[in-house]
Every structure is written in structure tokens, then in C-alpha cells.
């Protein structure tokens, strides 16, 4: 995708936790800080963007946040406010259930205003904003709180399950259930500019879709800002948080263009993963004569559900965009 990446792991696990069994350890806040100091002492800290995801505890969240804040201050000292952009995925839970310690929630609340773009799911957006999302009005209210009260420039809620009216039906007989991504870039007075993208949901179990969305968003938001500047002869990429001027329509926001492309890649990869998963599980069941206990079947399904990224590089680089952003 054209990015040189330095990865700082916050866990060292043998496999993702969707398998319900794993070996390994969580990285402590001290270890995170030491690794960062090691990068700095060798002058390996010249980063344009930062993506932070799953962090196992409140102290570790603070340690990761300190890295983001330090990189922000570095760009400001150089008088290049647009030279650093932080994408923060506040991984805390899903479907009404926390899978981190409760202390992680206030740790993120104290941190998100330092980020440029946050990528919560619906449950995480509720935790951060304090607004229970039950309809379009409460959804807008939650995003308004994140913009106005927390000062977050860009917000994308990655999995909105409440019904949202769409001008075009994206459901099919094979994928009758739909969900939406809802995003917004705030105006100069911290008001939302809302858009939504509805898409069909595959009836398959996947792990890592949030990580995939976040990683692709890093690439696509930068790409969209660069394209916007070239088309308009502007210097959006030099401004802090890459904030579009107030006269830019919600559907013309680089954030909306980036989200369209991210979802296009995800749809193609998930579709092919789902098709391959069914065939792989069926083949294992046939070889075993159908005699598989519940635990073994879950492990086989989990392995089959690993996102087929390397096999679908074309979908990552140049996807076909089917689902377009619409105004809320």
C-alpha cells in the first residue's frame, strides 16, 4: 500500500483471541515506553502518521497516548502542523460488552481529544460520548458530543446497527442484513458534517475486521487529502488534522472518499473470505467423517475465518466502489 511501517506490539499472542485459546503475554506500559525510547535513540521516530489500536490496560493506553502527544508536539515545534496525523481506534468492547478493564474507558476519554481521527464502533461511541445510540437523532447527538465536547476533528463509527434510511437498497437475497458506517468531519465551530455508507452484511464470523478498517483508513485518508489538494490547488495536507474548510460539503470530504474506498476493499476481501471459509470447513468435516467436537469445530472455523488479505492484494490496492456516501 506504499507505507513504511514500524510496528510496536501491545500484545505478543500466538493467535487472536477469537480462537478462545492462546499463548503469550500483554506488553506493559513500561515496555511500550522503553520500545519507544529505543526508536528515538536511533533516530527512528520520524513518523507522519500513527495508528493505535488494542491496548490491554489503562496504564498502557496512557503510554501509547504519550507517544502520540510527543509526535504532535514535535510537528508543532517544527511549525508543520499537518505533518503528523493520529488515527485512534479506541478498542474497548462491542455489542454492549467490555473486553478491557473498566479503567480503560476513562483513559481513552482523557486521550481522544489529542487524536485527529477516531474509529469507535457503536458501543465504543456510546462509552466515549455518554449517549445511548438508538436512532438517527441520538447517533447525531453522540457525534456532536465527540466533536464539540471532546474536540475530535474526524469521527467514523464503524458499525452502526440501527436502521438508517438509504436512498438505494444495498441488501441482496444472499446478504439481506445491512449495516452502516457513519462519519463526520467537524466545522470550525465544531459542528458535524455527517455522512453514512450502508453496506450488506455477510452471514459469516470474522475476526480482525476493525483492525483491517483502521489500517486501510490510514492509507486512504492520506491519499484522499493528497488528491483533494491536487484537484483544488489547496494545502489541506499542511493544516493540523487536515480539516476541510466549512464550505466543503459532507459528501466531498476526504474522510467520506476514504471511507468509500476502505469499505470497497473490505467488501471484496470479506466476500472471498466467506466463500473460502464455507468450502474449507466443509472439506475438514468430510475428511473427519463429520465427527468433530464443538471445540475442534470452533477452532477450524476460526482458522477458516482468517481474512484472506495476501490472496486479494488487488482488492486492497484497487477495489471497485459499489457503496457510496450519502448525507444523513
Q: Which residues are catalytic?
A: 211
- Cell 468492547, residue? 93
Lookup: cell for 263: 469499505
Pairing of strands 154-160, 178-185: antiparallel
Which residues, at least 6 apart from 45, have a Cβ–Cβ distance to it below 8 Å? 36, 39, 71, 74
Distance CA 144, CA 130 (A): 11
**Dihedral through CA 315, CA 317, CA 318, CA 321, nearest 10?**
70
CA atoms within 13 A on the CB side of 85: 23
Helix then strand then coil, % of the chain, to nearest 5: 45, 15, 40
For 74-95, the DSSP string reads HHHHTT-GGG-EEEE----EET
Q: What are phi and psi of 193, to 5 degrees?
A: -120, 95
Distance CA 51, CA 85 (A): 9
Distance CA 250, CA 252 (A): 5
Amino acid at each position: 500500500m506504499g507505507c513504511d511501517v514500524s510496528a510496536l506490539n501491545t500484545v505478543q499472542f500466538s493467535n487472536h483471541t477469537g480462537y478462545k485459546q492462546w499463548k503469550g503475554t500483554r506488553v506493559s506500559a513500561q515496555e511500550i515506553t522503553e520500545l519507544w525510547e529505543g526508536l528515538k535513540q536511533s533516530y527512528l521516530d520520524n513518523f507522519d502518521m500513527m495508528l493505535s489500536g488494542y491496548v490491554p490496560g489503562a496504564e498502557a493506553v496512557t503510554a501509547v497516548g504519550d507517544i502520540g502527544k510527543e509526535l504532535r508536539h514535535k510537528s508543532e515545534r517544527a511549525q508543520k502542523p499537518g505533518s503528523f496525523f493520529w488515527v485512534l481506534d479506541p478498542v474497548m468492547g462491542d455489542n454492549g460488552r467490555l473486553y478491557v478493564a473498566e479503567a480503560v474507558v476513562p483513559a481513552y476519554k482523557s486521550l481522544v481529544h489529542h487524536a485527529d481521527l477516531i474509529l469507535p464502533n457503536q458501543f465504543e461511541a456510546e462509552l466515549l460520548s455518554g449517549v445511548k445510540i438508538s436512532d438517527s437523532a441520538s447517533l447525531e447527538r453522540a457525534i456532536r458530543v465527540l466533536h464539540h465536547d471532546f474536540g475530535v476533528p474526524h469521527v467514523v463509527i464503524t458499525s452502526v446497527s440501527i436502521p438508517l434510511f438509504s436512498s438505494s437498497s444495498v441488501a441482496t437475497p444472499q446478504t439481506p442484513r445491512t449495516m452502516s458506517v457513519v462519519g463526520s468531519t467537524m466545522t470550525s465551530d465544531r459542528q458535524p458534517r455527517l455522512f453514512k455508507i450502508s453496506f450488506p452484511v455477510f452471514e459469516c464470523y470474522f475476526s480482525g475486521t476493525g483492525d483491517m478498517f483502521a489500517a486501510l483508513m490510514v492509507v486512504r485518508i492520506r491519499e484522499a487529502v493528497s488528491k483533494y489538494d491536487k484537484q483544488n490547488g489547496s494545502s489541506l495536507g499542511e493544516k493540523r488534522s487536515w480539516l476541510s474548510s466549512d464550505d466543503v460539503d459532507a459528501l466531498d470530504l476526504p474522510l467520506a472518499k476514504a471511507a468509500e474506498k476502505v469499505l470497497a476493499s473490505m467488501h471484496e476481501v470479506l466476500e472471498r473470505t466467506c466463500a473460502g471459509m464455507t468450502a474449507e470447513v466443509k472439506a475438514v468435516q468430510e475428511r473427519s467423517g463429520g465427527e468433530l467436537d464443538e471445540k475442534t469445530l470452533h477452532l477450524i472455523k476460526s482458522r477458516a475465518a482468517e481474512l484472506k488479505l495476501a490472496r486479494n492484494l488487488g482488492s486492497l490496492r484497487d477495489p471497485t466502489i459499489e457503496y457510496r456516501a450519502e448525507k444523513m
